[in-house]
Amino acid sequence: SDYSNEPPRHPSLTINSKCNVTVKKILIPVISYTRPFKEPFNAEPHRSALLSYITPINFFYKRNHGPIPIVDDIKRYCLSIGGLVKNPLEISMSDIRKLPKYNVVATLQCAGNRRTEMSKTRTVKGIGWDVAAIGNAIWGGAKLADVLELVGISKNTPSSPLGGKHIEFISVDKCKEENGGPYKASIPLRQATNPEADVLLAYEMNGETLNRDHGYPLRVIVPGVIGAHSVKWLDKINIIEEECQGFFMQKDYKMFPPSVNWDNINWFTRKAQMDFPVQSAICSLEDVDVVKPGKVTVAGYAVTGGGRGIERVDISVDWGKTWFEAQSYQRGNIPHQSDDLNTDKWAWVLFKAVVDVPENTVIIAKAVDTASNVQPENVEVVWNLRVHLKLNAKNNLQVLGS
Ligand code: MTE
Ligand code: MO
């Protein structure tokens, strides 16, 4: 594959990749070494970049499975909608822009977020990520529910007149996992036709035209759901009977119990992961940090899937013995309340607490969502072999001079 046309990226991003690669060479039998592969480009910002409510585009994590495609003739670009529909359609970018435009503030999170920490418990496969494979942006575009009406699928319907129950999004990129074919993923049609689910065909990010890294000219945004379903560089939409059969829906992005390992895994026993779980991470401190004794700011993000909203974030500065509630807020630093009309339901909340740290300790942040889901306090209880969302937020805060 051709990586000679990648867009420019901010130099402060950390490039993540699989390490400890074994390479076979003629003459020298096997060399094992560690080197970050820059292709495909997978990178995250430093965690401190997540302390602002809207993540700047440059610092938004980038997750790819192949080279960034080039769509250079926007006048000729068109999205085709077919499959189990009576009247298939090809729609141009200018016609998509004529549909009612929505700006949805939504957090996008990769299912691999925090995988590096999980791999410290037991080996997991996949690209390692710290806590920043996540970002919050204003996505501008048309609602998928409006677009689907153009092919005769009405709002709030679970199936199309021809019996389709899922909607598949097909990209123009080329991935090794699909044997050189495009990335694809699906969601249930019920979600796509529900205007309240805010599934978007987005052409803007933070008020700017979507850039190449994030899916120019058009991408799907499925709020509250792991990033894998938010297909970039959208080429085709297919209404289909069952879940998409692509690699990323069938052999990746699933969750397994801890008893499953690479020898006994049966991918077909599990469905593709959808909503992400309740999550929080401290971003004002490193996992192992050294500070002066006294006042320390503990701040970070908390988010949950399915638009459920964050109820509160609890902080402990004594290894989890006692807890108190942090301040949490969304845009404009307005104190966050889960029933507030100003709430961005698909977006993270930021939390903050100024704590007194007299001596060596462990600081923990723990999010609770409005459905009373509580973030697990340690990784052992949620470990699973491939992915997904290392959930504990324990920071070892080491204090000098106490
Ligand atoms: N869409 C295409 N076409 N190709 C991809 O590799 N990666 C997915 C999703 N959509 C991907 C894709 C995954 S796993 C994630 S987490 C998000 O895009 C990342 O979006 P971002 O790079 O805009 O942050
Ligand atoms: Mo992802």
Q: What is the mean pLDDT of residues 289-297?
A: 85
**Ion ligand 2 neighbours, Cβ < 5 Å:** 63, 110, 227-228
DSSP lists the bridge partners of residue 181 as 175
Cα angle value 265/271/272 (rounded, 5°): 100
Is residue 289's pLDDT more than 60? Answer: yes
Q: What are 195-216's pLDDT values in tens digits? A: 999 999 999 999 999 999 999 9
CA atoms within 13 A on the CB side of 278: 20
- Residues within a 6 A CB radius of ligand 1: 60-65, 108, 110, 171, 173, 183, 214, 227-228, 230-233
Residue 221 has which token pair?
């945004």
Looking at residue 266, its pLDDT comes to 86
Rounded distance from Cα 112 to ligand 2 centre (Å): 6
Pair 5, 70: CB distance under 8 Å: yes
Strands 394-399 and 288-291, sheet pairing: parallel
Rounded distance from Cα 318 to ligand 2 centre (Å): 34
Q: Which are the contacts of 26, defined by CB distance < 8 A and separation ≥ 6?
A: none
Is residue 23's pLDDT more than 60? Answer: no
Looking at residue 262, its pLDDT comes to 79
Q: Where are the domains of the chain?
A: 69-269, 279-399
Looking at residue 129, its pLDDT comes to 85
Is residue 253's pLDDT more than 60? Answer: yes
Looking at residue 72, its pLDDT comes to 87
Nearest residue (by CA) to ligand 1, atom 14, is 228
**What ipTM was estimated for this complex?**
1.00
Ligand 1 pocket test target in 110, 221, 273 with most atoms within 8 Å of CB: 110
Is residue 370's pLDDT more than 90? Answer: yes
Rounded distance from Cα 390 to ligand 2 centre (Å): 13
Is residue 37's pLDDT more than 70? Answer: no
Residue 352, classified by CB atoms within 10 Å of its CB into exposed (0-12), middle (13-18) or buried (19+), is middle
Rounded distance from Cα 310 to ligand 2 centre (Å): 22
| Distances, alpha carbon 344 to alpha carbons 52, 70, 130, 326, 394, in Å | 15, 33, 25, 19, 27
Looking at residue 20, its pLDDT comes to 41
- CATH class of segment(s) 279-399: mainly beta
Looking at residue 369, its pLDDT comes to 94
In this chain, the answer to whether the domains covering 69-269 and 279-399 adopt an identical fold is no
Q: What is the mean pLDDT of residues 136-143?
A: 97
Q: What is the mean pLDDT of residues 257-276?
A: 84
Residue 33 has which token pair?
């070494």
Kindly state the helix (H) or strand (E) to which residue 289 belongs, with its residue range.
strand 288-291
Assigned fold of 69-269: Sulfite Oxidase; Chain A, domain 2 (3.90.420)
* CA–CA separation, 233 and 196 (whole Å): 24
Looking at residue 217, its pLDDT comes to 98
pLDDT confidence tier of residue 342, bands split at 50, 70 and 90 = low
Looking at residue 148, its pLDDT comes to 98
One-letter identity of residue 252: D
Looking at ligand 1, which atom is closest to the CA of residue 171? Answer: 3
Q: What is the DSSP letter of 49?
A: G
